Amino acid sequence: MIDLHNHLLPGIDDGAPDLQASLALARMAEEEGITHLVCTPHIHPGRYDNTPQTIDAARQRFVAALAESGSTLQVAAAAEVRFGLELMQGIQRDRVPFLGEWEGRKVLLLEFPHGEIPFGAEKLTQWLIERGILPMIAHPERNKGVMRTPTRLKAFIDQGCLLQVTASSLTGHFGDNARQIAETLLLQGGVTILASDAHNLDRRPPRLRQAVEAAERLIGAQRATDLVMVNPWKIAWRHFE
């Protein structure tokens, strides 16, 4: 399986605090059946001021430690980028790493504030689309604004935005509301990928398998497999050439 949203890089956001934690998470990911990771540390101005350079430096440390440990896990890196005007500046200055490509357009993993979908957010996503950048909205089922008003996502889906659902939402880890929204999105065919959004071993582990089994019960084995193998590879394969 291929995990395109996780926080396994050491010491650069609220995920793995150090290399030892990164390696422990990597071992769990491999046991889960994950073979490829695109690590996506936060770019959140004023909180996590990461750049392509700081992210790549952390990735290189992680990759070297994995090789020394004998791991065969394949690791690339992008970012989970916070919604805001700074994002436009980052795009214009070429300071935003992309998750990959989808049908000829670059894919950006976009995070909205957890408590809401900001008013007028569709204008920013449209601005990105007009520049050949396709937003993939991170964990929409966990957004409190979407929980209050699930139809809030419709404008983004109509624009062509991609959706990434957190695997553990399907298994109820984030509560019934998030699970129900995730299930509805799956049944509607709106989900592009499932990803772990892993941060740590206990509360936010790199788990995908149980979510795939839950997805199979809803949409069948082939479509569930697409969410963790076919679609992620279609997006990210260039990272692993």
User: Long-range contacts for 174-178 (Cβ within 8 Å, ≥24 apart)?
Assistant: 174/141, 174/142, 177/147, 178/141, 178/142, 178/147
- pLDDT at residue 133, rounded to an integer: 98
Distance CA 241, CA 233 (A): 12
Q: How many CB atoms lie within 10 A of CB 25?
A: 27
- pLDDT at residue 195, rounded to an integer: 98
* 46-99: pLDDT as tens digits: 999 999 999 999 999 999 999 999 999 999 999 999 999 999 999 999 999 999
- pLDDT at residue 73, rounded to an integer: 98
Contact (CB, 8 A) for 38 and 238: no
Average pLDDT for 205-233: 98
- pLDDT at residue 125, rounded to an integer: 98
* 131-159: pLDDT as tens digits: 999 999 999 999 999 999 999 999 999 99
Q: What is the mean pLDDT of the chain?
A: 97
Average pLDDT for 185-199: 98
Distance CA 92, CA 33 (A): 38
* 152-179: pLDDT as tens digits: 999 999 999 999 999 999 999 999 999 9
Distance CA 228, CA 65 (A): 25
* 99-136: pLDDT as tens digits: 999 999 999 999 999 999 999 999 999 999 999 999 99
CATH number at residue 227: 3.20.20.140
Number of domains in the chain: 1
- pLDDT at residue 56, rounded to an integer: 98
- pLDDT at residue 218, rounded to an integer: 98
SS3 for 141-206, per residue?
HHCHHHHHCHHHHHHHHHHCCEEEEEHHHHCCCCCHHHHHHHHHHHHCCCCCEEECCECCCCCCCC
- pLDDT at residue 17, rounded to an integer: 98
Which uninterrupted H or E stretch holds 108?
Answer: strand 105-111
User: Residue 112 is part of which domain span?
Assistant: 2-240
- pLDDT at residue 187, rounded to an integer: 98
Give percent of the chain above pLDDT 70. 100
- pLDDT at residue 60, rounded to an integer: 98
C-alpha dihedral, 239 to 35 to 12 to 172, nearest 10°? 120
